Amino acid sequence: MRFACLLLFAAAAYTFAEPTRPNILFIAIDDQNDWIGCLDGHPQVKTPHIDSLAERGTVFLNAHCQSPLCNSSRTSLMMGLRPTTTGIYGLEPWIRNVPKFKDVVSLPQYLSNHGYRTYTTGKIYHGGYGRQKTDKEFDVIGTPAGVGVWPEKKLVDTPAKHKLVDWGVFPHKDEDKGDWKVASWAVEQLRAKPQEPFFLTVGFFLPHVPCYATQQWFDLYPEDTLKLPPFRADDRDDTPRFSWYLHWKLPEPRHKFLKEANEWKNLVRSYLACTSFVDSQVGRVLAALKESGQEDNTIVVLWSDHGWHLGEKLITGKNSLWDRSTRVPLIFAGPGITRAGRCKKPAELLDMYPTLLELCSLPANEKQEGHSLVPQLKDVNAPRVWPAITTHNHDNHGIRTEGWRFIQYADGSEELYDMQKDPNELTNLAGNKQFAAVLEEHRKWLPKGNAMPAPGSHSRILVYKDGKANWELKDIGEDDPIPEL
């Protein structure tokens, strides 16, 4: 009898020591700004499935990326390290090719080390990074990201002639699109009951360019009633010249081209249409999760790597330190998370790593540079002292608090916006002595360490040294005209 009791006690102790871990469904959307219904970024956008997820959990209304570029942003959030630590600022290199960081433990690796079965499909790291078996990032590697179907020739003749920089509608089927195939692979895994606990990452490519959508999604946004984003022709008159250096010469066209080619409405419609299409694919995956019976024990986190301009600040694309480029969807839902929560506290994408570890009752990774959002997932009004910090290239930083956006560029020039009174960042207050105390309060959050670009850095790299700005290995003269303006 005594022996049996000891066995029962030992079994109970083992059960207590090894609680059932929740599964994690990790959904990424590429280049998705705050044009999501629950974020109120565009008054006409239709994203019912993402909005329903937000109602089932907590949405961060003031969430921002660590870098407004795919590789640097995704590297940061997956490794839990800031770009100022890694020196990953451009589209290259893959962090595992940087000797100093080849062994850093990524989020999927950490979860795998603690008993999770890790799956991936679509775009999680930039491009094909992390998808080779030799990368040892995931246990199971599924369908890659891709456009899926292309028109016979480019729909829009953009200045850079880049194949990816295109948008519009042409006859094709949703089922032929890359994101449909990514969603289908995820649905198949959920229906097959993946080994638990699982970490299933699903990375959608749209609304990244080319913004191709089928007619049904364009029909959601009739051209005659379409609302264009806020725009002012003199918007850059009070911003430093250095602000142009961050996106000096890119494939993405300026607003000037959109107006002259009569393409502004077409691009906005295309972006909105692609956003609604991706929302439908998110819906397919969430429906499969519910049908699998695993929803109640699965944490769902949905995020985007950075935002995207559609004419605001006279540009299209990312690569800026304003809200349109940094603000992103960030939604958590599942066990232990407040339902219908709307948190206004600043949040960062690299906070996802420590947050998921805490939600899964796993030991913290002490090398993380983010901060757990669990207090805000339990109480949206819980205090949070940290702002959101975004860095684009060496020594250019944006600091976002609840009420303000502060930007300091590598040459020392600055911007300051009152985000309560001026949410579209139209009036730069940095030169107004009335706000000296606000500036000083935000300067203290500037990163103390600023790594130079990592070895092998390439694509969209800006360096400022000895008073000279250098873009893609070419010096920018003080009087050089701004390209395509």
Residues with a catalytic annotation lie at: 70, 126
Q: Are 178 and 205 in contact (CB under 8 A)?
A: yes
DSSP string covering 106-166: -HHHHHHHTT-EEEEEE-SSSTTTT-SGGG---SEE-PPP------SS-SS--TT--TTS-
- Structural element, H or E, at residue 437: helix 436-443
Q: Are 418 and 429 in contact (CB under 8 A)?
A: yes
Distances (CA, A) of 249 to 159, 189, 345: 11, 42, 34
Distance CA 27, CA 287 (A): 14
Amino acid at 55: E
> How far from the centroid of its chain's Cα atoms is residue 425's Cα?
20
Supply 315's token pair: 């540009």
Burial of 480 (0-12, 13-18, 19+ CB in 10 A): middle
- Is the preceding peptide bond at 329 cis, omega within 30 degrees of 0? no
List CB contacts of 227: < 8 A, sequence separation 6 or more: 42, 43, 44
- Which among 54, 64, 36, 49 has a CA at the least distance from the CA of 377? 54
Q: Are 430 and 416 in contact (CB under 8 A)?
A: yes
DSSP string covering 78-105: HHT--HHHH---SSB--GGGSGGGTT--
